[in-house]
């Protein structure tokens, strides 16, 4: 079962991730929300749409923008609606 881990904490865990461009997208209901804080950063992907970000905070350490999601993805990426992915040192295994 895929798990997203950072700073010793399990951020998300699910048997039902969506794989897109080599990234596991975890269903939003499987993330451990106590570690997530909204970040104001957004980016644009030509085929997925506008991404929003979360900061991840574990034991007082903050990993800025380490998680992202597409609130309203474009049609080609509808399968990741309501899913969250990780980078910036978050290990998914």
Domains in the chain: boundaries: 3-92
DSSP 18-74: EEETTEEEEEGGGB-GGGEEEEEEEEEETTTEEEEEEEEEETTEEEEEEEEE-SS--
pLDDT value for 60? 97
pTM comes to 0.96
The parts of the chain modelled with pLDDT lower than 50 are none
pLDDT value for 59? 97
Contact 84, 67 (CB under 8 A): yes
Task: Report the CATH superfamily, name and number, of domain 3-92.
Answer: Domain of unknown function (DUF427) (2.170.150.40)
User: Residues near 26 by Cβ (< 8 Å), separated by ≥ 6?
Assistant: 2, 4, 12, 13, 14, 17, 83, 84, 85
CB burial class (10 A; 0-12, 13-18, 19+) of residue 84?
buried
């Amino acid at each position: 079962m895929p798990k997203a881990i950072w700073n010793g904490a399990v951020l998300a865990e699910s048997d039902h991730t969506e794989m897109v461009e080599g990234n596991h997208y975890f269903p939003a209901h499987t993330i451990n929300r106590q570690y997530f804080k909204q970040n104001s950063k957004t980016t644009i992907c030509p085929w997925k749409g506008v991404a929003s970000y979360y900061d991840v905070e574990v034991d007082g350490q903050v990993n800025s923008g380490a998680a992202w999601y597409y609130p309203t993805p474009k049609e080609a990426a509808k399968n990741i609606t309501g899913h969250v992915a990780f980078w910036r040192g978050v290990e998914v295994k």
